[in-house]
Every structure is written in C-alpha cells, then in structure tokens.
Amino acid sequence: MNKKYSFIKFFTIIFSVLITLNSYSQEVEKIPLRDFFKNPDKTYYQISPNGEYLAYLAPYENRLNIFVQKIGSDEAVRVTNVTDRDLAGYYWANNDMLLFGKDKDGDENYHVFGVDKKGEILKDLTPFEDVKVRLVDPLEDIDDDVLISMNKRNKEIFDVYRLNIATGDLKIVAENPGNVTGWITDHNGNIRIARTTDGTNTSLLYRETEDYPFEIVLTTSFREALYPLFFTSDNKYIYASSNLGRDKSAIVMYDIANGKEMEVIFEHPEVDVYGLYYSKKKQKPVSISYTTWKRQREYLDEDVEKLFERLESELGTDYEIVITGISKNEDKFLVRTYSDRSLGTYYFYDLDTDKLTKLTDVSPWLNEDDLAEMKPISYKSRDGLTINGYLTLPKGKEPKNLPVVINPHGGPWARDSWGFNPEVQFLANRGFAVLQMNFRGSTGYGKAFWEASFKQWGRKMQDDITDGVNWLIEEGIADPNRIGIYGGSYGGYATLTGLTSTPDLYTCGVDYVGVSNLFTFFDAIPPYWKPHLEKWYEMVGNPEKDSLLFVEVSPVFHVDNIKAPLFVAQGKNDPRVNIEESNQIVEALKKKGIDVPYMVKEDEGHGFHNEENRFDFYEAMEKFLLKHLNPKVN
C-alpha cells in the first residue's frame, strides 16, 4: 500500500509490452449497443442498520426503483413505483424507513421522499416547488430525524432543517446569514462548523456548542483549502484534508477551536489525499484512500486491513474491492467489485460466520473477456507539465493508425479515474481507440496543477488536449485523418473549442450538453452558484473585465472556423448548461448553411438519465462516428 507509482515509467513498461505483441488477428464480437447503456439488473445495494434487510435498485417499467428483501430470503418487495424518472439515490434512515431523492425531468430540484420497507407508506417530505434539498447529517443514532439543507427561504443559500421522517415536521436549526456554503456536524449531530465565502476568501467558523455563536477561526484564499471531514471521537478536534502550506492535500488532525494543525496523518508526494474512513464502533479512523492511476489504500487499523486481505483472498486482486454498506454493529458488510472491464458483483459478508455470499452481477450480459483494457498513460504538455490519462485500445487491433475518439472529461475541476466506463467500452468495441486525459485543472494533482487552469478555458487547457492528440499521432497509434472528439459539459465545451481552434485536427465532433458562449453561460447559472461567482471570475474570467477573453474562447463566435461535422445533444431542462448554449451553436452553423444533427430531450437535464434517451443518443452517436471515422478501414 505504500508503493509509489511513476506514471511515465509504468506506461513505458506497459506500452513496450503492448506494441511487441505479434498477434492482432483476434475477431472481436460486436456487442449490442443497448447492453452497454441499459439499466443494471440490480445495483446500489444498501444494508439496514440492524443488518437484517437489504435494499437495492432494480428496473420497474424501465425505471430504477427500490426493492427490499430480508437477508436469507429470495423474495423481494418493490417499495416504490416511479415510472417517469430513475431515483437519484436512497439510504436506510432507520430499520423500517428508507429515504430517496427524486427530481422532475432533470431540473435537479430534488425532493426527499420516505417509504417504509413494506412499501405501504410513501410520503413527499419536502413538497416544495423549485427548491433544492441536500443531506447534511443522517443522524444515524436518532431513528426519526435527519438534518437537511434547503434553499427554500432564499434560492441562493441553504438553511439547515431538522426533518422528522415519521411526521414530516420541519424545524429550522441553522439560518444561513447569506455567506455559508457548508455545514459540518459533530458525532452527536450538532452543527459545530460552518464554511463561508465572500466570493474569493473562505472562512471556517466554529462554536463549542449550538448555544454559542459562531466565531471565525481561519480565513484563506479559495486557492487554499482545509476541508473538515469529521470530528475526533471526543468531538474536540477534527480530521481534515488540507493543502495549507503544501501543494498536495494531506490528511491532518486539526485543532479547530484554535485554528492550528496538530499532526499530519498521511500525505502522498504525487497526488492529493481526500479519503478518510471512520469506524463509529471503534471511534477512530480506520483507513485512507487516494488515487494515483488507481485507487490505493493505507490502513490505520489492523482489523480493517485483515478484512480486506480476507476479501482479496477470495475475490482476487484484479478487481477493485469496495465496502459499500455496513451494519450498525459493523459485523455485516456489503462488498462490491469492479474493474476497467466489469461493472462487477455485489457480495454480502458476515464477519461472525466469515461467509461471503454472492448477491448479483451488476451487468451479467457483458463478458469482460470481450472488453478492452484501460491503461494509464502520461505525456508532456508543450509548456512542460505532465498530463496523466488513460488509453483504451480496441481488442484485436494492432495499435497503429487507429481511428480515435478524444474524450475530455467534464467539470472541468474533476478527473478521470480507472474503472468501468460504458462509453469508453462501447467505443472500443466499435473499433475506436479512446484517449482520456486529466488536463491542467483536473483535481487530485495538487494546488499548482489546479491553478495552472485559471483563465485557461480554451487556451492552455485546450492545448493539453491538443498535445495528447499530437502525442497519439507521433506514437503512430492514431490515424491523423480519423480523429474525433466527444465530451459532455466542459467536455462538450472542449469539443466545440477543438473544432473551432484546431479545425484541421479533428474529423468530427460530438457536443453533449456543452458550453458554447461564456457570456450567456454566466448569465444563466443557477442561483445557488452565485455565492461562488467572484471565485469563478478568477478561475474562468469576468464577463465585463475579461470580455475580450470571453470572445476569444467562446466557440459560438468562431463557427466560421469549423470544418468538421458536428452532432449536438442537449437536455431541455438543464440547470447547469442552459439549452441556449446548444441552441446558439446550432443556429450559428445553420446560418452558414451547415446542417447540424441536433438531439433535444424534453424530459432531461444535464445529461440523459432515462434509459430510452440514452439509447437514442448513443445510437445516433454511433451512426455519426461510424460515418465519419470509418473504423473498418484498418
């Protein structure tokens, strides 16, 4: 677990082995498109606090609904009857009730619903129009109460409410003065910490008890961060992920009352560390996770280390093994495996009997032997940064002169990681190589790498993508005449920017809910993003002060440069990237006499979640890419 990974060295070894293989004659079966994108048989298992019941999501009339079954029984009861849209998520609130979230047609204004384990009682516990609900604390030791936050009083900010799930009673317990962006509770469910912003500076506020007023203990620029994770068992200090005074975020113990770092628990020289896992039974942190090219673990507790060794002894080490649920007594566990070629399997593990029971394969219709490996890669940007990413090569094809789909991630302050990606596997199965890169600004690589993206939308961030394309061409992997680019959200913006700023590089592009005009994008941001607006001005640009920059990097103003065919897809109710972003680029191209395939779904938001809409989109994308990139040539 302490092994250090060199991305460049690792890829050199893998790639040198790969290109010396002599046989590429293996015929790869074409897998039906819908097998990649249909809802799973069963997924997202959760265990009741007493360890007696399991719940999971499974399709009912093509929508994911909640089913409940007693452990040891083969019979399950469907407790929800949603038919318009998949549930957004759920959890056991107590041994008898489950809470789940659901929005309307992708508007992201989630309501909290409660349902009993027999499916006899169903309540909308937050029946408010145009209100967004967030979970603050499930209050695991208080059966009928939960802490939520809502922008009910003011659309821009969130107050905290105590919700009684039995009666539906709501009581406000923390009123937002206008600058609080987050609330943190102690182990007793008391709100003890608040995070505030003035737009560019972030402050941590602390109080000893809920009877005391909040006091500022730390103020930093938004470029630095100390994120509280949870309190120590005595509710006196906190564990946090901090990059104060360092480039890479580390796990630290922090004296919150006095604003002082006490101890570094764990840090890594190459990547940020965010994941710290707490045992309520042991009343201490038990493990740490971080991501290099894959998830890595550091154990803080011998029992937890032995538990994972036990699981690995039976499940192997080729898969990621994740504990996704645990009973209150921490004696019964839900375990999931997955890999780059498999959505994996759920298991139930009983610590007392040491018995591991298979529950279900998530997508049994996909044979991982037919799917492609996702390999870590690294290349240098033109100004000397190391850009890490992943390359997936189609099975049975020699890695030379391949048609390629460049797939920049959304966010943009997010990252791609190793694991199963249905889009990537689908494209590889159709004969395309797929390159995903963590361009500058991608999270997890430290403060300096993140800051290197500021005011670089369409500039150096795009150069990092272009440099990845050129690297593939120089290595002989990519056919320079068959390179497409596809992405969603920021990835959609990068697609449009690629077609306008480097028009000769790409053969075609697919823009999925992408930004086309930074002026209108800022005008249409959701009200609850407004407290962060000044920070966004520093990170992206100010529409007034940086108007020339916005014109330079907004693709809609450069449609005359577009040479490659473009396909655009958009959800009508998208609250993040307004539909006008897609309308503008399509209309601008139509004025040039260019017909742009344009798919709009009336019942979707930021991405297509309903199964039939996913089918429509990927079927249209497949037809578009096959037409313009022709993977059968090689």
Q: Which one of 111, 187, 558, 606 is the catalytic residue?
A: 606
Residue written as token pair 């452990």: 71
Q: How far apart are CA 602 and CA 84, in angstroms?
A: 12
Q: How far apart are CA 440 and CA 415, in angstroms?
A: 10
Q: How far apart are CA 446 and CA 401, in angstroms?
A: 35
Strands (E) in 144-267, as ranges, are 145-150, 159-164, 170-174, 180-185, 191-197, 201-206, 215-221, 226-231, 238-242, 250-255, 260-266
SS3 2: coil
Q: How far apart are CA 585 and CA 191, in angstroms?
A: 46
Residue 231, φ and ψ in degrees, nearest 5: -80, 160
Active site residue 606: yes
Q: Which one-letter DSSP state was computed for residue 605?
A: B
Q: How far apart are CA 467 and CA 387, in angstroms?
A: 9
Active site residue 268: no
Name all contacts of 251-254 with Cβ < 8 Å and 24+ positions apart.
Answer: 251/276, 251/288, 252/226, 254/226, 254/228
Contacts of 42 (CB under 8 A, 6+ apart): 56, 57, 58, 67, 346, 359, 360, 362
Question: Is there a contact between 357 and 36 (Cβ–Cβ < 8 Å)?
Answer: no
Please choose, from the candidates 554, 579, 570, the residue with its C-alpha nearest in 3D space to the C-alpha of residue 494: 554
Residue written as token pair 């360890």: 51
CA torsion 370→375→379→381, rounded to 10°? Answer: 70
In the structure encoding, which two tokens stand for residue 210, read together? Answer: 């809920």
Q: How far apart are CA 244 and CA 241, in angstroms?
A: 9
Active site residue 628: no
As to burial, measured by CB atoms within 10 angstroms (0-12 exposed, 13-18 middle, 19+ buried), residue 468 is: buried
Q: Which one of 103, 327, 574, 582 is the catalytic residue?
A: 574
Please choose, from the candidates 557, 584, 590, 550, the residue with its C-alpha nearest in 3D space to the C-alpha of residue 570: 584
In the structure encoding, which two tokens stand for residue 468, read together? Answer: 């990845």
Q: How far apart are CA 542 and CA 537, in angstroms?
A: 5
Q: How far apart are CA 443 and CA 16, in angstroms?
A: 29
Cβ count near 183 (within 10 Å): 22
Q: Which one of 489, 501, 554, 582 is the catalytic residue?
A: 489
Residues assigned a catalytic role: 489, 574, 606
